[in-house]
Amino acid sequence: MHIDIITVLPELIQSNFEHSILKRAQQKGLVSVNLVGLRNYAVSKHKNVDDYCYGGGAGMVMMIEPIANCINDLRSKRKYDEIIYMTPDGETLNQKMANTFSSAQNLMVLCGHYKGIDERIRELFITKEISIGDYVLSGGELAASVFCDSVIRLIPGVLNDETSALTDSFQDDLLSPPVYTRPANYMGHQVPDVLLSGHAGEIEKWRMEQAISRTKQRRPDLMAKFQGGENN
């Protein structure tokens, strides 16, 4: 997979891809991530990429020309499965969407800033609009990083047995069960006996029960989905 991320703040995103699983995914050649500085496509002599809002009101709006020039430049080199705009009024990201995107070849991700982007960009270029939740961030950069992380870790070969996505929360519409490591006794606080029993069947059963009771308690909305078997 190849991902181009268009941003006015590449530095804000860069380090997210330089560690751990995302770093290894790139080293293994399973994904390449290219940060594209929008200012390189500015058309004014002061390299502005934003301007005042027509009709008045507070806040600046990202201009159409730099973004259009940038998108067209990228499109001349690759065919994109989706051109995604990160925006709080987009569709809220979930695990199912991450799964779907993980089989794409080329993705373009545009980070919004200021008050938003000129509406014509959305009409002319954007194929998907994604939010990461009902709260407002200062820009789309953190959201783009979250989105890319959720997608890249699902590309086949990125995770190994130890980091397998199959046991992640949400992968089967359930939260994960509790986990423990050594010591088995911390000042009287014991690891559940079943986990020390070596009895694989019992352990599997315990984990499923824990996942279900935790999901019931914390996320009754997910529980309803699990029982409905939407994932099957």
Residue 146: CB minimum distance to ligand 6GU, A: 8
Which residue of 4, 17, 80, 87 would you call a contact of ligand 6GU, by CB under 6 A? 87
Binding of ligand 6GU by 132 (CB under 6 A): yes
Size of the site for ligand 6GU (CB under 6 A): 13
Binding of ligand 6GU by 108 (CB under 6 A): no
- Closer to ligand 6GU by CB, 93 or 174: give it: 93
Binding of ligand 6GU by 88 (CB under 6 A): yes
Candidates 1-9, 74-82, 130-138, 221-229: pick the segment binding ligand 6GU (CB under 6 A).
130-138
Six token digits for residue 82? 């989706």
Binding of ligand 6GU by 89 (CB under 6 A): no
Which residue of 136, 166, 187, 200 would you call a contact of ligand 6GU, by CB under 6 A? 136
Which residue of 139, 169, 191, 219 would you call a contact of ligand 6GU, by CB under 6 A? 139
Six token digits for residue 145? 């990083």
- Closer to ligand 6GU by CB, 64 or 137: give it: 137
Q: How far apart are CA 155 and CA 105, in angstroms?
A: 11
Binding of ligand 6GU by 150 (CB under 6 A): no
Q: How far apart are CA 13 and CA 110, in angstroms?
A: 12
Q: How far apart are CA 132 and CA 87, in angstroms?
A: 8
User: Who's near 105: CB < 8 A, 6+ residues apart?
Assistant: 1, 2, 79, 81
Q: Are 50 and 62 in contact (CB under 8 A)?
A: yes
Which residue of 8, 62, 86, 98 would you call a contact of ligand 6GU, by CB under 6 A? 86
Residue 212: CB minimum distance to ligand 6GU, A: 29
Task: Please say whether the dihedral angle defined by the alpha carbons of residues 19, 24, 25 and 28, taken in this order, is positive or negative.
Answer: positive
DSSP string, 151-205: HHTTSTTSS-GGG-GGGSTTTTSSPPPP---S-SEETTEEPPHHHHS--HHHHHH
Six token digits for residue 37? 């500085």
Q: Which stretches of the chain bind ligand 6GU, using CB under 6 A?
A: 86-88, 112, 131-133, 135-137, 139-140, 143
